[in-house]
Structure 1
Amino acid sequence: MFSVVELKYFGDQRATFKILKPWWDVFTDYLTILMLMVAVFGGTLQISTDKIICVPVPEGFSMTTMQWNKSALKGLKLNSFDSGFKTDLDREQYNLMDQYCYDHAIQWYSKYFPYIAIIHTLVFLISSNFWFKFPGTSSKIEHFISILGKCLDSQWTTKALSETVYEDSDLQIPQRTVLSTEPSVSCSLNLQQSSDTALLLGQKESSNDRICENEAQASLCKPPSKTFKTVGGGVYGHAAVKILDKKEGEQAKALFEKVKKFRLHTEEGHILYMMYIRQTILRSVQTILILAYFVTRIPQMKHIVHCVDKIHITGFTEFFCIHGLWRIFRMLSIVYVVVIFIYCITCIYTLYWIFYFKLKEYSFAYVREETGIDDIPDVKNDFAFLLHLIDQYDKLYARKFAVFLSDVSENKLRQLNLSYEWTHEKLQQRIVTNEDNKTELHLFMLPGIPNNVYDIYNLEVLKLEFIKDVSISAAISQQTSLQELWVYNCIIKVENRALAFLKDTITILRVRFANAYEIPQWMYCLKNLRELHLEGNLLIDNKTSIVLQSLCDLERLKSLHLKSNVTKIPAAVIDVAHHLQHLTIHNQGKKFTTLNGLRKMLCLSVLKLYNCDLERIPSAIFSLSNLQELDLKDNNLRTLEELASFQHLRKLTTLKLHHNKITQIPLYIAKASSLEMLYLTKNNITFLPSNLFKLTRLRHLEIGHNNITSISTEIEQLEDLHYFDIESNKVSELPFELFYCTKLRVLILSHNLLTSIPPKVKNLTQLRQLDLKGNKLQYLPPELAKCQCLKRSQLNVEEDIFNTLPYDIREEFLNRI
């Protein structure tokens, strides 16, 4: 006989697994215990008491009619029917016959009822808890229980549902008081942020719970003394709360990742759901079978048994036997059948619950409604099934678990962790002064925007790069000096109050994106925006107008910079042509098929077309009568025949054609008489025509990295020339006329074939930079000392060549300040 302790293993599971056992499973467990008690009790009786008592039946007594034959009675010399007779059998023979008749005459059900009950009980124990033991399901269950336990114990859960967590770290963060949910009611910025937190985490307030009413706006808010109710059902006595410490924040952050991975894993299949159905069906079938044969076997149980010994071991053939446990076994069987029947009804109800309700889908609608966390997603498959099960135990568990499914909750936690990692002092160390002499802060690959950023009041440029799914809060209104915002590969939302501030302060916005859908739609609300930079793929189904359709809302936009791969100017850009003054398009090597849209940009003063694979200067440019600067670098220009039409561009002062394949400068370049700056660096030019030097307004001329062999003497006509760069060419001699350009301040002659510098260099009294490296010079003329503005640091020449100057001249160069 098995003991209860030995059977414990089959029904034992971790105590924490009880949360996955709804009331009907718990009820069937108790029924199983009752069945086990019936079996154990019957087995104990069978061991401790006599099973059967048999006496031989004398000849003349009929076991069928249970009557004596009178002649047989006389033969046995019995005086009456109730007189006994002597059998001459000893005790061992009686015991032998008792055992023989028990084995051969007693119905099998009456003999083995306790064992049958124990076997059934074992099957019920195994089938009801099999999914807790099966490797394919137990691992998921254990993981779920582990994560759920951590969710329940996490301080972040308490904060998210009741706002009663306190911060015990040394980080000094202002205490926050829960405010009215109306955005117009605010006592201070920190208090308003707390109101946003309350809204975010589902804090609900009645009208009686609001503090700082409109008539009290002039005074500071006082901490409320009244009690606040929480969505979790708890109550806290004051609204001033502190946040998590750093360790708890890191633990909660790791828990969010575990929940995400577990959800992804369990939503892929439904093995738990199917295993639970199968074991429930197995128990249901088992109970029906037990009922079927128990009901037929119980009536067959007999108290008096007729036993026939065909071997005649004792000399008697028939025996009269009484089964001593018949009555108690019959009663136990009836009790067992009743218990089995109740068990069967419970299993049928379980199947009804499984198939009637959609257990492979779980909705957090009620949680979203109660907590106000609207982004909690609904789940499916095994994850949904597990949540349905714990709902039967305690619905609060699923609500607490839902906190870790919310992106809003996770983002709020990130903000708390960022507050510890990025202190105000650390952020101050990251602030630099950029080339535009503006204070700049660059945040790269952070999980959010640290709240301490909003406390930096003198910040002028904020660069955000690779920061995903965060929002800019209303606290940014503290940054009154902010003018420029960089959003590089970021998905950022802006709160309404923050947007109201940004649209009046931000004048420059730079956006980099991988897909056109990542362009922030809130940028079209920046009414004061003057300069916009967009970098990324603008094509959506070969349509760019869809992406920038709201660009016309930026009525004050003056400068637009596009770095993309379009084939023509987007229609949305043409819509802002009436006020656009600066247009830059970097097409990353993709060829422009048409530029007719330029004709409508009559206000354009600066046009830059980079890397557009242009082979000729577009004719549409000549319609831009207000154009002052044209930059066509990094294209495929081979000829400048279109310069003949430059006479229409009377305001053009700057022409940049470097990094092309131009082989010659046409004679009619002189028609661009208004030019002041000309860039022809890195082309294939071999000759400088005399007409080039008829551009008498020219102040800046760059023709380096070409194949030029000589400089025309007519260069003296460029009397206003300040900057002349002819480096990396094949010039072997400098004409004296070059030094009649007495306004030269920068002269770049490096990497040519020069053998000497004419003494006329002394005429360049305003020269501040002279580059002579990479030539074949033997010495420097002493007249170089007449260039009073030239310092040694700006005289770029080999040291041995510099040492050819007289000692006193060298000392003079070194001593110039």
Structure 2
Amino acid sequence: MSGNVGKDKDKDQKGTSAVKDREKEAKATALVKESKDKDLKTKVKDAKEGKKDPIGAQAGVAFSVDNTIKRPNPASGMRKKASNAEVIKELNKCREENATRLDLAKKSIHMLPVSIKDLTQITELYLYGNKLQSLPPEVGCLVNLVKLALSENSLTSLPDSLDGLKKLCMLDLRHNKLREIPPVVYRLGSLTTLFLRFNRITAVEKDLKTLSKLTMLSIRENKIKLLPAEIGNLCSLSRLGLRYNRLSAIPRSLSKCSELDELNLENNNISTLPEGLLSSLVKVNSLTLARNCFQSYPVGGPSQFSTIYSLNMEHNRINKIPFGIFSRAKVLSKLNMKDNQLTSLPLDFGTWTSMVELNLATNQLTKIPEDVSGLVSIEKLVLTNNQLTTLPARIGHLTNLTHLGLGEKLLTHLQKKLVGTLENLEELYLNDNPNLHGLPFELALCSKLSIMSIENCPLSHLPPQIVAGGPSFIIQFLKMQGPYRAMV
């Protein structure tokens, strides 16, 4: 009995001791926590006051003034390692699967591993959207490559070893930092497509003649001032992108590129074309000469437009459309003469029967000929920003018209006969006519009208509350108050 009592006492003593130990532990933990809290508050306070921690904050952790913990971004070296590891993984996968297409686009690659030389089976390599400043010479070992996409990088040159790519047909170097066409490119005689858009190229060398298989050449958005006569050797070209450069002339030899179906010279410094150039380019159906320095139409007569479907001469200094210039233009459907210095239209204006879209905005026209009714195919007619005070009622005969631009003029009224028969009209722009005080009830007959712009027109002959309601209120008012309410 006494032995059991002794054991019980020992148990009680041990239990009491354990409880005391736990209490001590709890107090110690509380003290540590309190100390840490005070330390954190001190750091926050110091941060607010601009003080620095004399001991130094724990590595890898930053405390912001709002008590949040901010982890620093991974070092660029770590990111590069991760990127390299991913690239090597893709290379290994391509090798194991014997794949012919390798897509490494948009993987933040700074440098290609030299082991890429082992992937001699690939025919397509996509590296666009990376951070490449150069290519390793080993890329020249990819002897079966047909497509090489390198756009949206920071390349300033290409290795000479690329001349080993004897099967390469497509090379895409758009959006890089090239100041010249890399010399090795001229040795890639198998190329059919070459994209060099959006670089800093200032010249094209005579060696261009070696790329005689090219069907597509885009060197637009560069700083090129001169094209070599050797461009005439590219007889297979069907597309040539030259816009947004600094060209002041086009070589006569371009007439040999008879497969061209589009010629776009927009935004250069060109004032004339070699005589007969356009007549020689018998397959060109789209011609853009906008934003240049032309003061007159290109020399060459009516035959130069016989195959043209779309002609854009916008933003030049042309003051006259020559009589008969479109007499052979049987397929001309779109003509843009916006922002020139036209004061009148040619006497044969009414013979442009194939015209579907005609833009004469921002010129100095004071009159539209009565034979405008001859434009029987016209669907879009833009006369905005001229010196017109009135319009011929015969515009109302253009029953295919869907878009009519009459804004920014000196119009005093809109004739009843002009709008009453435009049953297919969908868009009417009358904005910025400071002398336009009324609208005809006949507008209510334009049942398909969905857009009408009347900004900055006084329209004082209409009730102010109706005008304030906008175009839809005005149309409804004209329908209900006019003589045609039974017809609409």
Q: TM-score, normalised by structure 2?
A: 0.60
Q: Deviations over 1:305-345 (max 9, x none)?
A: xxxxxxxxxxxxxxxxxxxxxxxxxxxxxxxxxxxxxxxxx
How do 1:570-609 and structure 2 match up within 5 A? 571=207, 573-578=208-213, 580-586=214-220, 588-592=222-226, 594-609=227-242
Q: Matched residues in 2 for 1:485 and 1:514: separation?
A: 12
Residue aligning to 1:689: 322
Q: Matched residues in 1 for 2:260 and 2:247: separation?
A: 19
Residue aligning to 2:375: 741
Deviation at 1:708, TM superposition (A): 0.6
* CA distance 1:490–1:748, change in 2 (3 Å): farther
Deviation at 1:810, TM superposition (A): 7.1
Q: Matched residues in 2 for 1:747 and 1:815: separation?
A: 17
The one-letter code sitting in structure 2 at the alignment partner of 1:591 is K
Deviation at 1:799, TM superposition (A): 8.1
Residue aligning to 1:510: 151
Contact 2:296 / 2:317 at 8 angstroms: preserved in 1? Answer: yes
Residue aligning to 1:717: 351
Does residue 487 in structure 1 map to residue 156 in structure 2? Answer: no
Q: Matched residues in 1 for 2:430 and 2:281: separation?
A: 41
The one-letter code sitting in structure 1 at the alignment partner of 2:379 is R
Q: Matched residues in 1 for 2:104 and 2:382: separation?
A: 38
The one-letter code sitting in structure 2 at the alignment partner of 1:658 is A
Q: Deviations over 1:458-499 (max 9, x none)?
A: xxx99749x45266999xxxxxxx9987436545989x9xx9
Q: Matched residues in 2 for 1:633 and 1:708: separation?
A: 20
The one-letter code sitting in structure 1 at the alignment partner of 2:275 is L
Deviation at 1:599, TM superposition (A): 1.5
Q: Matched residues in 2 for 1:755 and 1:806: separation?
A: 20
Contact 1:483 / 1:508 at 8 angstroms: preserved in 2? Answer: yes
Residue aligning to 1:253: 74
Say which SS state the counterpart of residue 242 (structure 2) adopts: strand
Give the structure with higher Rg (CA). 1
Residue aligning to 2:341: 707
Residue aligning to 2:444: 809
Residue aligning to 1:628: 261
Q: Deviations over 1:657-681 (max 9, x none)?
A: 1111111225633130222222211
Say which SS state the counterpart of residue 358 (structure 2) adopts: strand
How do 1:468-487 and structure 2 match up within 5 A? 469=110, 486-487=128-129
The one-letter code sitting in structure 1 at the alignment partner of 2:74 is K
The one-letter code sitting in structure 1 at the alignment partner of 2:200 is S
Match of residue 675, structure 1, among 305, 308, 311:
308
The one-letter code sitting in structure 2 at the alignment partner of 1:710 is S
Q: Matched residues in 1 for 2:450 and 2:203: separation?
A: 57
Q: Which has the higher contact order (CA 8 A, sep 6+)?
A: 1
Q: Deviations over 1:68-121 (max 9, x none)?
A: xxxxxxxxxxxxxxxxxxxxxxxxxxxxxxxxxxxxxxxxxxxxxxxxxxxxxx
* CA distance 1:586–1:811, change in 2 (3 Å): closer
Say which SS state the counterpart of residue 361 (structure 2) adopts: coil
The one-letter code sitting in structure 1 at the alignment partner of 2:375 is C
The one-letter code sitting in structure 2 at the alignment partner of 1:789 is N
The one-letter code sitting in structure 1 at the alignment partner of 2:447 is E
Deviation at 1:706, TM superposition (A): 0.9
How do 1:14-53 and structure 2 match up within 5 A? none
Please say which of residues 799-808 and 773-782 is displaced more in the overlay: 799-808
Q: Deviations over 1:14-71 (max 9, x none)?
A: xxxxxxxxxxxxxxxxxxxxxxxxxxxxxxxxxxxxxxxxxxxxxxxxxxxxxxxxxx
Say which SS state the counterpart of residue 74 (structure 2) adopts: helix
Q: Deviations over 1:624-653 (max 9, x none)?
A: 12222222222222234x233433222222
Residue aligning to 1:753: 387
How many residues align? The count is 360
Say which SS state the counterpart of residue 610 (structure 1) adopts: coil
Contact 2:294 / 2:317 at 8 angstroms: preserved in 1? Answer: yes
Contact 1:643 / 1:669 at 8 angstroms: preserved in 2? Answer: no
Contact 1:724 / 1:748 at 8 angstroms: preserved in 2? Answer: yes
Q: Matched residues in 2 for 1:799 and 1:809: separation?
A: 22
The one-letter code sitting in structure 1 at the alignment partner of 2:262 is E
Q: Matched residues in 1 for 2:439 and 2:308: separation?
A: 40
Residue aligning to 1:411: 80
* CA distance 1:806–1:537, change in 2 (3 Å): same
Deviation at 1:516, TM superposition (A): 2.1
Match of residue 659, structure 1, among 291, 294, 299:
291
Match of residue 201, structure 2, among 545, 565, 568:
565
* CA distance 1:546–1:708, change in 2 (3 Å): same
Instruction: Identify unmatched segments of 5+ residues in structure 2.
Output: 1-55, 61-68, 94-102, 117-123, 452-488
Q: Matched residues in 2 for 1:804 and 1:655: separation?
A: 39
Contact 1:564 / 1:586 at 8 angstroms: preserved in 2? Answer: no
Deviation at 1:569, TM superposition (A): 3.9
Instruction: Identify unmatched segments of 5+ residues in structure 1.
Output: 1-145, 155-246, 258-406, 420-447, 455-460, 475-481
Deviation at 1:619, TM superposition (A): 0.6
Say which SS state the counterpart of residue 487 (structure 1) adopts: coil
Q: Matched residues in 1 for 2:409 and 2:164: separation?
A: 53
Contact 1:745 / 1:766 at 8 angstroms: preserved in 2? Answer: yes
Say which SS state the counterpart of residue 721 (structure 1) adopts: coil
* CA distance 1:549–1:617, change in 2 (3 Å): closer
Residue aligning to 1:358: none
Q: Matched residues in 1 for 2:166 and 2:276: separation?
A: 43
Residue aligning to 2:183: 546
Say which SS state the counterpart of residue 678 (structure 1) adopts: strand
* CA distance 1:550–1:568, change in 2 (3 Å): closer
Q: Deviations over 1:751-806 (max 9, x none)?
A: 11111222222232222222221111122233324333321xx3222288596131
Q: Deviations over 1:712-759 (max 9, x none)?
A: 131222221112111110011111222311111221211111112222
Q: Matched residues in 1 for 2:340 and 2:443: separation?
A: 38
Q: Matched residues in 2 for 1:760 and 1:507: separation?
A: 57
Please provide the CA RMSD for this pair: 4.7
Contact 2:270 / 2:294 at 8 angstroms: preserved in 1? Answer: yes
Contact 1:586 / 1:609 at 8 angstroms: preserved in 2? Answer: yes
* CA distance 1:560–1:790, change in 2 (3 Å): farther
Q: Matched residues in 1 for 2:72 and 2:164: separation?
A: 36
The one-letter code sitting in structure 1 at the alignment partner of 2:403 is Q
Contact 2:132 / 2:155 at 8 angstroms: preserved in 1? Answer: no
Q: TM-score, normalised by structure 1?
A: 0.38
How do 1:313-392 and structure 2 match up within 5 A? none
